[in-house]
Chain A
Amino acid sequence: MDGTMQDLALPVSMGTTIMAASFDGGVVMGADSRTSTGAYIANRVTDKITPLTDSIYICRSGSAADTQNLSRYVQLFLEQHSMELGDEAEVKTAAKLAQMMAYQNKNMLQAGLIVAGWDRHEGGSVYAIPLGGTLVRTPFTIGGSGSAYIYGLCDKLWRPDMSEADCQAFVVKAVSHAMARDGSSGGCIRTVTISKDGVKRNFIPGDSVPVAAGELPAPVRAVQA
């Protein structure tokens, strides 16, 4: 293999920015869209926010393969569980299942996860499952390589009484800052908003992502005739 192709032998990994934040009545989850193999961007429009049930989603960071397959196991378990229960699974249960898989296989996996969603018992809830397999319920959490750049920003901006629109704006702002600073994060921004009214997806194309201080603005797209 010649030198320029060496990156392609590396595992497909998501140097990532992911986050989830709760607001009064639901949660907003956000992620960038970059998947890399070394310096090569394997996918610039990745969807890192994967459904576990109709109203529970998971943000994936780390190895793309590990987290995709872990998510499929959790989907399967939750489907069986909701049949036995005769009801929709709770976010707490989904998070516990993801955590167990992450912890019991921690030696084989590279997976940093955020499980969030809405259920009628707890309303909106956010669970962080970092690399070791801890399970923590938090009002908001950030993850992936890009998160290191936005701890201060998020601690300053997050408020407990945000409206849905405020929370959505907060997530987009935080993710775009991380994408600007972190070389392994970038591309577009995807958000998923979950409340009792259901799920709303939002997509911000790369050339519409807010520009951070010192960054070059995206070139203006040629207008098609």
Chain B
Amino acid sequence: MSGIGSGYDLSASTFSPDGRIFQTDYAQKAVDNSGTVVGIKCKDGVVLGAEKLIISKMLEENSNRRTFPVDRHAGVAVAGVAADGRSIVSRAMAEANNYKNFYGDPIPGHVLAERLGSFVHLFNLYSSVRPYGVCTLLATYGKEGPQLYLVEPSGTTHRYFGTAVGKGRQGAKNEIEKLKLEELSCQEGIKAVAKILHQVHDEEKGFEMELAWICDESKRQFQRVPQPLVDAAEAAAKAALEAEDMDD
């Protein structure tokens, strides 16, 4: 029983003497090492953006997704273990579908977020399972207006104006705080997100950017941002960053 966890990290059903659950902490670390994923709530919708580190030069573009629609009015971006993310997406779709079938109305954002939180939390309770190595950013646009939620591996769920997870989360959060989110439209939002993702990306290798939004322009339906807009946002982001570099 030696080593860093001293035996308290073998299952999620054991507390360490100072009150931590190491398996849960490790799951959060799996997310912290992943590509950055940011989400911001603008005045007319929510924008999600993911930095996808290039696994292989031979990988086809857009074959490794990080954003997924869950219902017409809801979608997620996942950071961390991609395979775990798929399982959360499929659960989210099932919850949305089941709610609509039962109550005849689309699932409200906070209900979906809480249900996903409860689901993820279950995997922190038993010795036979491991927690999800995934942070889920959930974007919804229903009767309550646009909303952004973050579900962590522990099951903790919060609603945000803007947040970021993954490698560059600290830098990204600093940049998000500088934005005037209550005045920002989603059109401007995708540029801001593109800029932040380029700013916090610090590797020689390039990355693929994935943007999704749900806003008035997308008729309140979750969709990936159309490629021409992504290209324009990326160009604007690079130009803005170069201009800032020149100033320095």
- Hey, which bits of chain A sit against chain B, CB under 8 A? 81, 84-86, 90, 92-93, 95-97, 100, 121
Given contacts A92-B105, A96-B105, 5 further A-B contacts (CB under 8 A): A84-B111, A85-B111, A86-B110, A95-B104, A100-B102
- B105-139 to A contact mask, C-beta < 8 Å, 1/0: 10010110010000000000000000000000000
Nearest B-chain residue to A100, judged by Cβ = B102
Complex partner residue of B103 from A86, A97, A121, CB under 8 angstroms: A97
Contact A92 B104 (CB under 8 A): yes
CA distance A93 to B103 in the complex (A): 5
Distance from B87 Cβ to chain A, minimum over Cβ atoms (Å): 23
Complex partner residue of A96 from B104, B111, B143, CB under 8 angstroms: B104
Check A85/B143 contact, CB under 8 A, given A93-B103, A96-B103, A97-B103: no
B103 neighbours in A (Cβ, 8 Å): 81, 93, 96-97
CA distance A37 to B23 in the complex (A): 65
Chain B 66-100 interface residues, beta-carbon cutoff 8 Å to A: none
Chain B 159-200 interface residues, beta-carbon cutoff 8 Å to A: none
Nearest B-chain residue to A78, judged by Cβ = B103
CA distance A95 to B103 in the complex (A): 9
Complex partner residue of A93 from B105, B111, B114, B143, CB under 8 angstroms: B105
CA distance A86 to B111 in the complex (A): 9
Distance from B99 Cβ to chain A, minimum over Cβ atoms (Å): 10
CA distance A96 to B100 in the complex (A): 10
Majority DSSP secondary structure for residues of A touching B:
helix
Distance from B212 Cβ to chain A, minimum over Cβ atoms (Å): 26
Contact B102 A85 (CB under 8 A): no
Contact A90 B102 (CB under 8 A): no
CA distance A121 to B143 in the complex (A): 9
Distance from B33 Cβ to chain A, minimum over Cβ atoms (Å): 35
CA distance A84 to B110 in the complex (A): 9
CA distance A107 to B2 in the complex (A): 66
A95 neighbours in B (Cβ, 8 Å): 104
CA distance A122 to B79 in the complex (A): 38
Give 21 CB contacts A-B under 8 Å. A81-B103, A84-B111, A84-B114, A85-B108, A85-B111, A86-B110, A90-B105, A92-B104, A92-B105, A93-B103, A93-B104, A93-B105, A95-B104, A96-B102, A96-B103, A96-B104, A96-B105, A97-B102, A97-B103, A100-B102, A121-B143
CA distance A116 to B111 in the complex (A): 25
CA distance A94 to B110 in the complex (A): 20
Nearest B-chain residue to A90, judged by Cβ = B105
Distance from A180 Cβ to chain B, minimum over Cβ atoms (Å): 37
CA distance A97 to B99 in the complex (A): 12
B108 neighbours in A (Cβ, 8 Å): 85
CA distance A24 to B105 in the complex (A): 24
Distance from A214 Cβ to chain B, minimum over Cβ atoms (Å): 45
Distance from A21 Cβ to chain B, minimum over Cβ atoms (Å): 22
B114 neighbours in A (Cβ, 8 Å): 84
Distance from B228 Cβ to chain A, minimum over Cβ atoms (Å): 36
B110 neighbours in A (Cβ, 8 Å): 86
CA distance A84 to B143 in the complex (A): 16
A121 neighbours in B (Cβ, 8 Å): 143
A100 neighbours in B (Cβ, 8 Å): 102
B104 neighbours in A (Cβ, 8 Å): 92-93, 95-96
CA distance A92 to B104 in the complex (A): 7
CA distance A84 to B105 in the complex (A): 14
CA distance A167 to B103 in the complex (A): 29
Nearest A-chain residue to B110, judged by Cβ = A86
B105 neighbours in A (Cβ, 8 Å): 90, 92-93, 96
CA distance A84 to B98 in the complex (A): 15
Nearest A-chain residue to B143, judged by Cβ = A121
Nearest B-chain residue to A135, judged by Cβ = B104
A81 neighbours in B (Cβ, 8 Å): 103
Nearest 6 Cβ contacts at the A-B interface: A96-B104, A93-B103, A84-B111, A92-B104, A93-B105, A96-B103
CA distance A81 to B104 in the complex (A): 12
A97 neighbours in B (Cβ, 8 Å): 102-103
Nearest A-chain residue to B104, judged by Cβ = A96
A86 neighbours in B (Cβ, 8 Å): 110
